[in-house]
Structure 1
Amino acid sequence: MDYPIKLTIDPTVALEANIQVKEQLKWLIGIGHISPGELLPSTNVLAAQLGLNRNTINWVYHHLQEEGIVSMHKGRGTLVLDNPQTDELRRSRMLMHELLERTIEEVRLKSINAEAFFTASLAYGLMQISEQTTARKLLFVECKEHDHPFYSNEIRRVTGAEVKTIFLEDIESSDTILTDALEFSAMVVTTLNHHDQVKRLLTGKEVKLCVIGAQVETSTFLEIARLVEGSPVTFVCLGKAGGQWMAKRVHEAGLHSIKPYAVGIHDHAQLLACLENSERTYASAAVYSKVRELAPDKVRRFPMLLEKSSETLLIDFSQPTK
């Protein structure tokens, strides 16, 4: 980005500086002032502009990356992604923007002090949250090879809860990770892929378990169906198991004419070989930007959707106990 972005840090506001920066960046992306494909300022530049420590901006960028909104590339910068997470941010922030613009106009017409109004609004919101007798916190258990950012973002979107993700690989290597994580929440969400494994891990523990699944947009199946019979097609995810899940969804849709290959993003040599030899490559949202850089003409996003039944389950599951 060649021009400075306009952010404000107010030490009198009851939000830490890192949260102020992160939320303002999400607003700028959400209402289109920063577009997908643009680079955010370097951590040094933004820290100097705002008079903050570089580590504070690093924290902001890492959290935006965890939310799936940006990708960080050492030596190249922080890129705003063009993916479902950014689309959802833009959709939600545009709705908020319209509502806030109307509210601000009403405040002005009624000659209400804007700062006092929004301070009071924050207090009122905190009162509403305090009426819930159960904290909205969910623990998400998944493996590192599937597109876990997709699931965690969907859980957060549907429930509005704070979501903590722990990985099965880490649980298996430590006797305390699961126990410690259950102190965060005794309400656990996992995917169909790992239902039995997680259920065994939770045996004897007083927890609630919700199992969710994802589906694939029909348009992707139609694209694949139009490929020449025998076409080699590669499916890329965070790990090979995730790519295999993607290929399995295609097979279950009745598409048996392609030659599917599955690969994880970190198996660089195999990934390059698959990109070279495949007619088409489909990448999950978590790895799409990186894979597309390698072969922009061949790579398509593999668009996943949370199943409607899973949305309903999550909504019911996360309701506070009265």
Structure 2
Amino acid sequence: MVQFHIQSDSDIPASTQLYNQILFAIASRQYPPGQRLPSTRQLAMQTGLHRNTISKVYRQLEEAGVVDAQAGSGIYVRDQTNEGNAKVKSPILDQHPEAYTLVQSSLDELLKQGCSLSQARELFLAEIDWRLRCSAQVLVTAPNHDIGAGEVIMRELERALNIPVQLVPLEELAQVLDQTRSGTVVTSRYFIAQAEAIAAPKSVRVIPIDIYDFDAEIKLIRKLAKGTCVGLVSLSSGTVGVAEVIVHSLRGDELLVMTCQLGDSYKLNAIVRSAHTIISDQASCAAVKAAISAARNDIIRPPQLVCCENFIITKSINLLKRELGLE
């Protein structure tokens, strides 16, 4: 505990001596923001002053905005950082009250690293400008053997973000990036390593998206009766392959599994006529419904069609909106 000393023979009043000493202890961070100051009883024992005098000093410190008195708890050093934020007036602070604190802490860290204010400003502006340029062009990539996965992502992003999105095969990504100054490449985590290796030398960033976990569909698969025929339809051949593996891992040979990539009308018609349950992604749902409708006169019982939720999870969509400055 900080030791305070009162000179009884001084011309300076005892309360003033204690006030100045406490103020110095706070200013020198011997008592950092948020720390509790000694009780009036503790200070009375240390300094020999009456507790009323000490209470008066604490009231003066509170009026000066240095401390806060919390009833039943004690006297605490005020954290004036947030008050300092009030110097910056912006409607952004009303929406994001913690934003200025984050900016301030980041700036403080740059200054500690030896940057000047001018250099820090240049770094912030350069990063913001780069992100804005990257947001001007959004590319979705996937390898040619599963370009359908990229098309699913592209469709969902265009619908969710309401901006143009270009689909580029992974094998052609380097060539496309050579012709652009900046951009944002979006892909599934399945292909993120390959995309980053291609984009690393370029002025682009790569953002991975997380796909839907298909929890509801997995629960459905678990409940299907033994011997049920299940159809799996997707625009993405990779998604169909992974889905088939998952179904087999859950039920083994208990279920008959038929798969189809959208565009293969022969397989789709076979699934419609044989399957009890068809699980489809959103991109293929309309085509499956049309195939069921067209075959209605040839089948006794139409299959149950389950259209999965979006391929991309909401969290990834929201992240992209923030990164692209669309929120």
With the length of structure 2 as denominator, give the TM-score of the two structures: 0.46
Q: Higher helix share goes to which structure?
A: 2
TM-score normalized with structure 1 length: 0.47
